[in-house]
Amino acid sequence: MSQTKQSSLLDATVVSTNRLASLADRVDTTDERPELDVRTPIKDEPIGAVPAATAEDVAAAVDRARVAQSEWENRSIEDRGDVLRRFGDLVLERREWLLDIVQLETGKARVDALEEILDVPLTCSYYGSNGPSILAESKRTGAVPGLIDAHVTTDPVGVAGVISPWNYPLTLAITDVIPALLAGNAVVCKPDERTPYVALALAELFEEAGLPSGVFEVVTGDGPTVGPALIDRVDHVTFTGGTETGRAVAERTGRNLIGSSLELGGKNPMLVLGDADVETAARGAVEGAFTNAGQLCLAPEGIYVVDSRYEDFLDAFVDATRRLSLGLEFGYRPDVGSLIDSDHLERVQSYVEDARADGASVCAGGRSRPDVGPFCYEPTILTDVDPDSAIATEETFGPVVSVEPVSDAEEAIERANSSSYGLNASVWTTDLARGRSVAREIDCGTVCVNDPYAVGWAAVDAPMGGFGDSGVGRRHGPEGLRRYVEVRTIATSKIGPLGDSPHLPTKWYARAMTAVTRLQRRLVGWF
């Protein structure tokens, strides 16, 4: 495994201690609050501190958002879209500053941070352009066409709460905030306590883009305090994170009778069919499994290869993995960066060691690299994994993937569908029609053919979300916008009440309505 030299910390960035402190000052708390240290995994040392908000602070933030939302809703959707487009332009313009903050907070490779940056203007452009037609008033078929009509209108839900994760702290907050704002809502965002500065930087850019004060609020603090307080006060909750926490969020939103969209864990399969190009598949496996050091909900964690391609694929995959560079610098040389903290490193290490104890073989990687960074772990390939082991059944969320032979595509599909998760999968084949056919048999919300995840994520017009334990609801596409609105039906009768008429005997009314119903059944689809 090659290694790149670790750069100095803030001296190597366009970020300063004072700049981070000014971002922390954006958190509006009612009184002086205790602070939470923000540590960088690059050196495992503090880079700053943010307020530890209380439930009262959350309530005040939601109140400010609710006041600001009424004015924001009254602006045209085209005007709101213009603000979002300007925001997307600013994200691109200030990308070096944002990239440095993302790397400081997460320790990820710069190329992985760039994926987050590029996603934002694309999402802004999509919703800015398509949002007006998606939310436009629509005419629907009435009970008696020609005599009764129906129209559907939409209103924003009010204040949306977005609880964002540490692994993609920029895009996994903003990709949900953008449609919520376009729909006329205000948003209160609770970033993970390990990665608050990115959200605060984005709040600053929103303000510069012309978003009114209070429409996008950020509250920092620990999850057990801020999360429940936020859920109890907003009108919709969007959460990205672990499945068990997602269940708690769903239970609380259910009690409050508000909507929620939850993207949760994944144990994502990759299927390499007998006619696959092994070099292409191996390159895809590297890109999928080791992007962001495997801390990606869409990353493949189990690869099933048809016997006839197994040895060739494994050789190509191992060779490509061993060529990856592991490093922590503010440039584009390293391929793989750090895990987020010591707890996560310990989790990944224990999964690999337990797998070894159960008979698994390590073909590449398999060890931590404190010489590179305190939480760095080598990209790791395992074979002969016990199918009942933790690493085979639970989400590892690190740079670890298993490769197993299967007899044919049918067995690969069966293995893929044996998990309780269903977020993302990929199919590798030179026969695209067959690839799409196999994809339809896999129980996942997104299935990519000849790409590990990027073509599905980047298709912002298509919904993205999970089956089973991977969550409920969808982001992206029209579905990602409609979750943030209430739908109203306005039905109008040109003949008065649709019911028994005092001027018509009940028997005649029954015959007439039966005849109308029979006619409508014959004319279904004509109106």
Q: Is the dihedral of CA 133, 470, 166, 400 positive or negative?
A: negative
Asked whether the beta carbons of 374 and 342 are under 8 A apart, the reply is: yes
Question: In this predicted structure, what is the pLDDT of residue 105?
Answer: 97
Tens digit of each residue's pLDDT (9 = 90 or more) over 443-464:
999 999 999 999 999 999 999 9
Secondary structure of 194-216 in HEC code, one letter for each residue: CCHHHHHHHHHHHHHHCCCCCCE
Question: In this predicted structure, what is the pLDDT of residue 520?
Answer: 74
Q: Which of 7-16, 161-170, 249-258, 337-346 is the least confident region? A: 7-16
Q: Is the dihedral of CA 80, 81, 82, 87 positive or negative?
A: positive
Tens digit of each residue's pLDDT (9 = 90 or more) over 496-505:
887 666 677 8
Tokens of 263: 């993207």
**Is a pLDDT exceeding 80 seen at residue 509?**
no
**Is a pLDDT exceeding 70 seen at residue 5?**
no
Band of the pLDDT at 146, cuts 50, 70, 90?
confident
Q: Which of 177-191, 448-462, 480-494, 503-517 is the least confident region? A: 503-517
Question: In this predicted structure, what is the pLDDT of residue 186?
Answer: 98
Question: In this predicted structure, what is the pLDDT of residue 448?
Answer: 98
Q: Are strands 325-326 and 2-3 parallel, antiparallel or unpaired?
A: parallel
Q: What is the mean pLDDT of the chain?
A: 94
**Is a pLDDT exceeding 50 seen at residue 41?**
yes
Tokens of 516: 């109308």
* HSE of 315, CA atoms in CB hemisphere, 13 A: 5
Question: In this predicted structure, what is the pLDDT of residue 90?
Answer: 98
- The stretches of 396-505 forming alpha helices (DSSP H) are 409-416, 432-439, 454-457, 477-482
**Is a pLDDT exceeding 70 seen at residue 13?**
yes
Question: In this predicted structure, what is the pLDDT of residue 295?
Answer: 98
Question: In this predicted structure, what is the pLDDT of residue 339?
Answer: 98
Q: In a 10 Å sphere around its CB, with 0-12 CB exposed, 13-18 middle and 19+ buried, how is residue 17 labelled? A: exposed
Band of the pLDDT at 116, cuts 50, 70, 90?
very high
Q: Looking at residues 227-232, what average pLDDT do you find?
A: 98
Band of the pLDDT at 8, cuts 50, 70, 90?
low
Q: Looking at residues 113-139, what average pLDDT do you find?
A: 97
Q: Which residues lie below 8 Å from residue 33, measured CB to CB, with a gap of 6+?
A: 51, 52, 53, 54, 57
Q: Looking at residues 206-223, what average pLDDT do you find?
A: 97
d(CA 19, CA 205): 14
> 263, 301, 378, 404: which is the annotated catalytic residue?
263
Q: Looking at residues 224-249, what average pLDDT do you find?
A: 97
Asked whether the beta carbons of 84 and 130 are under 8 A apart, the reply is: no
**Is a pLDDT exceeding 80 seen at residue 525?**
no
Among the listed residues 10, 222, 202, the one whose alpha carbon sits nearest the alpha carbon of residue 104: 10
**Is a pLDDT exceeding 60 seen at residue 269?**
yes
Say whether 263 is catalytic.
Answer: yes
Question: In this predicted structure, what is the pLDDT of residue 145?
Answer: 78
**Is a pLDDT exceeding 90 seen at residue 433?**
yes
Identity (one letter) of the amino acid at 53? A
